[in-house]
């Protein structure tokens, strides 16, 4: 959510930003916000005058009563009653106007960074850099679920009977590999100075609306029936929510945190054949990184965060590339975003395994996350998040890039301590 003062003073910039995000249907919201904001401020000004007048008149009544001028005092009391009625009306109007302003401000997209490429969809995202040499072996690579099945490592049929489509059982060495990757990612981030956190897996509605746009909420979140609780789609939600309505001393910044959690997502919409198996699912686990920092430091941290993911994948010899997300592919709260994609030897292309986002002060404004500077002044923090690793999808990249012609899978050196020293997984079938 952008600053109402900024919108008030720069409506044309806000409108151009909406156009850059190809959301022209939202253009009328800017003028509507300005109009409701004007009415709200006018109602407040009149209400303030009436409150000041009420104090003045109260003293006048006391003086008249002391002088025995009861009739005049009663006339003034009638004026107070009329003013009180009008004041109540104004307070109600002010609240209604403010609600109308907030309702619209919540769906007006954040101002994107000038460096963001303009484009309508993810098809216009821009490749930045490649890391590692993508290799296509001289043998056929099976679909990832077929690889897992040779290790007796997955059961989608049973999961479908128990929970429906979009769920899975991981077993044996594949399940162990899944956990090993998470444990390695946790220690990787701790070694880089991040504090490890296990957060709540459910959050209240005021936190949901504080950390994400309504479109994201509708597409992602599962609501707990009869409770003001939602299952988290990523630990970023509860991690940022931890700081709701807080004032952080400037010397406590940056807050650098890495969190583990299961994640739950509706994943609405139709998806292609390449997104079956464990690629796009309703339940998965993830290691996340979160930073809360001073505004002037957020772009520096943004670069550090996506580089962490690149370094993690490269430490396991998986080729990756970074993509700059274009304006139309950015969620409404994001200022700038970079996706990390891993190489798929089977598909002979890259696919997304993580996303790094700078949200500026949008989440902080909604959740009232403030910083107290050395001079005593308060300002809004900047928030950032990035995927360290999400193993179900990352498993696809891992298995394809480490598969041998005989069906065995090499274990990179960095993972061996988490796999009981194993250097290779040998299929059962």
Classify 223 as helix, strand or coil.
strand
The pLDDT of residue 215: 74
The model's confidence at residue 355, banded by pLDDT at 50, 70 and 90, is very high
Distance of CA 152 to the CA centre of its chain: 36
How large a percentage of the chain has pLDDT more than 70? Answer: 91
Other C-beta atoms within 10 Å of 167: how many? Answer: 17
Distance CA 206, CA 210 (A): 6
Residues 6+ apart with CB under 8 A from 146: none
Distance CA 369, CA 295 (A): 12
The pLDDT of residue 391: 87
DSSP 8-class letter at 381? -
Domain 4-105 carries which CATH code? Answer: 1.10.287.40
DSSP 8-class letter at 338? E
How many H-runs (helices) and E-runs (strands) does the chain carry? 13, 18
Say yes or no: do domains 4-105 and 122-425 share a fold. no
Fold of 122-425: BirA Bifunctional Protein; domain 2 (3.30.930)
The model's confidence at residue 319, banded by pLDDT at 50, 70 and 90, is very high
Say if CB 266 and CB 232 are below 8 A apart: no
The model's confidence at residue 174, banded by pLDDT at 50, 70 and 90, is very high
Candidates 209, 211, 184, 180; CA nearest to 290 is: 211
Tens digit of each residue's pLDDT (9 = 90 or more) over 34-87:
999 999 999 999 888 877 776 666 655 555 565 666 666 556 656 666 677 878
User: Bridge-partner residues for 246, per DSSP?
Assistant: 369
Other C-beta atoms within 10 Å of 222: how many? Answer: 16
Starting at the edge strand that comes first in sequence, how are the strands of the sheet with 246-249 ordered?
A: 246-249, 369-372, 378-380
Structure tokens at 29: 């919201």
- 124 class by beta-carbon count within 10 Å (0-12 exposed, 13-18 middle, 19+ buried): middle
Tens digit of each residue's pLDDT (9 = 90 or more) over 214-273:
777 777 899 999 999 999 999 999 999 999 999 999 999 999 999 999 999 987 654 555
Distance CA 224, CA 231 (A): 7
Query: What number of residues does the chain have?
Result: 429
Residues 6+ apart with CB under 8 A from 47: 87, 90, 91, 94
3-state helix, strand, coil in the chain (%, to 5): 50, 20, 30
Domain boundaries, the chain: 4-105, 122-425
Instruction: Decide the pairing of beta strands 255-264 and 283-293.
Output: antiparallel
Distance CA 383, CA 293 (A): 7
Q: Three-state SS string across 217-246, please?
A: HHHHCEECCCCCCEECCCHHHHHHHCCCCE
Residues 6+ apart with CB under 8 A from 8: 34, 37
The pLDDT of residue 71: 63
Q: Which residues of 253-287 are buried (b: 16+ CB within 10 A; e: fewer)?
A: bbbbbbbbbebbbeeeeeeeebebbbbbbbbbbbb
Structure tokens at 272: 């292609």
Say if CB 119 and CB 125 are below 8 A apart: yes
Say if CB 325 and CB 403 are below 8 A apart: no
Residues 6+ apart with CB under 8 A from 10: none
Average pLDDT of the segment spanning 376-405: 95
More confidently predicted of 384 and 56:
384
Say if CB 19 and CB 29 are below 8 A apart: no
DSSP 131-189: ES-----SSPPPPHHHHHHTTT-EEHHHHHHHT-TT--EE-HHHHHHHHHHHHHHHHHH
């Amino acid at each position: 959510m952008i600053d109402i003062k900024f919108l008030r003073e720069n409506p044309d910039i806000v409108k151009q930003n909406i156009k850059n995000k190809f959301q022209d249907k939202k253009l009328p919201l800017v003028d509507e916000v300005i109009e409701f904001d004007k009415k709200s401020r006018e109602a407040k000004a009149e209400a303030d005058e009436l409150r000041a007048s009420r104090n003045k008149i109260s003293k006048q009544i006391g003086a008249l009563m002391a002088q025995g001028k009861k009739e005049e005092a009663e006339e003034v009391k009638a004026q107070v009653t009329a003013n009180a009625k009008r004041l109540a009306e104004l307070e109600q109007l002010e609240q209604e106007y403010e609600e109308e302003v907030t309702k619209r401000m919540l769906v007006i997209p954040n101002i994107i960074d000038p460096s963001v490429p303009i484009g309508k969809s993810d098809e216009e995202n821009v490749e930045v850099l490649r890391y590692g040499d993508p290799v296509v072996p001289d043998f056929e690579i099976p679909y990832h679920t077929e690889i897992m099945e040779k290790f007796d490592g997955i059961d989608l049929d049973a999961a479908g009977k128990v929970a429906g489509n979009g769920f899975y059982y991981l077993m044996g060495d594949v399940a162990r590999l899944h956990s090993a990757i998470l444990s390695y990612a946790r220690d990787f981030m701790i070694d880089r100075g991040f504090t490890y956190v296990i957060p709540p897996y459910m959050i209240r509605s005021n936190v949901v609306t504080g950390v994400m746009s309504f479109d994201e909420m509708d597409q992602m979140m599962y609501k707990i029936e009869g409770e003001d609780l939602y299952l988290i789609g990523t630990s970023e939600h509860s991690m940022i929510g931890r700081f709701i309505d807080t004032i952080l001393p400037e010397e406590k910044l940056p807050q650098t945190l890495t969190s583990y959690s299961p994640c739950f997502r509706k994943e609405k919409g139709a998806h292609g054949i390449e997104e079956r198996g464990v690629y796009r699912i309703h339940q998965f686990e993830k290691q996340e990184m979160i930073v809360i920092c001073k505004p002037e430091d957020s772009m520096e941290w943004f670069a550090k965060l996506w580089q962490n993911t690149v370094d993690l994948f490269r430490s396991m010899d998986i080729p990756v590339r970074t993509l700059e997300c274009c304006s139309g592919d950015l969620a409404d709260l994001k200022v700038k975003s970079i996706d990390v994609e891993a190489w798929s030897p089977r598909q002979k292309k890259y696919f997304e395994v993580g996303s790094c986002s700078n949200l500026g002060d949008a989440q902080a404004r909604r959740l009232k996350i403030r910083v107290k500077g050395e001079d005593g002044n308060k300002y809004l923090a900047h928030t950032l998040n990035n995927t360290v690793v999400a193993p179900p999808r990352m498993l696809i990249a891992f298995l394809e890039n480490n598969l041998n012609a005989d069906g065995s899978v090499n274990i990179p050196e960095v993972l061996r301590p988490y796999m009981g020293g194993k250097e290779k997984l040998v299929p059962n079938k």
